[in-house]
């Protein structure tokens, strides 16, 4: 699939429907693991489009959803993702 992305992004102009389709497939259907393992091989223009589309998707989520199940799953069910526990901040409950 990497060769498909390279071919489409090398040969077609920005805004082309096939480029949009390829981007959609990777944003909405590929696995996180696959993307993390293969980003070095992807065209920079594809990665820029990918980041913009993912950002739009994330930023469109309601701000009140932070901490709810959908966002906890994104953080790997780590409720203490943004801080470190010490004597002043014991482990979080629940």
What is the per-residue DSSP string for 1-18?
-HHHHHHHHHHS-TT-HH
80 vs 25: which has the higher pLDDT? 25
43 vs 79: which has the higher pLDDT? 43
Distance, C-alpha 75 to centroid of its chain: 12
Exposed, middle or buried, 65 (CB in 10 Å: 0-12/13-18/19+)?
A: exposed
Residue 79, pLDDT score: 55
Q: For residue 36, is pLDDT > 70?
A: yes
Residue 72, pLDDT score: 45
Residue 90, pLDDT score: 63
pLDDT in tens, 40-78: 999 999 999 999 999 888 777 665 545 454 544 444 455
């Amino acid at each position: 699939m990497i060769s498909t992305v390279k071919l489409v992004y090398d040969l077609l102009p920005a805004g082309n429907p096939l480029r949009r389709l390829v981007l959609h497939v990777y944003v909405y259907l590929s696995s996180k693991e696959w993307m993390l393992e293969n980003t070095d091989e992807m065209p920079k223009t594809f990665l820029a489009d990918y980041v913009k589309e993912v950002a739009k998707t994330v930023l469109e989520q309601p701000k009140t959803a932070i901490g709810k199940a959908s966002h906890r799953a994104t953080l790997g069910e780590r409720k203490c993702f943004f801080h470190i526990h010490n004597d002043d901040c014991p482990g979080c409950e629940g």
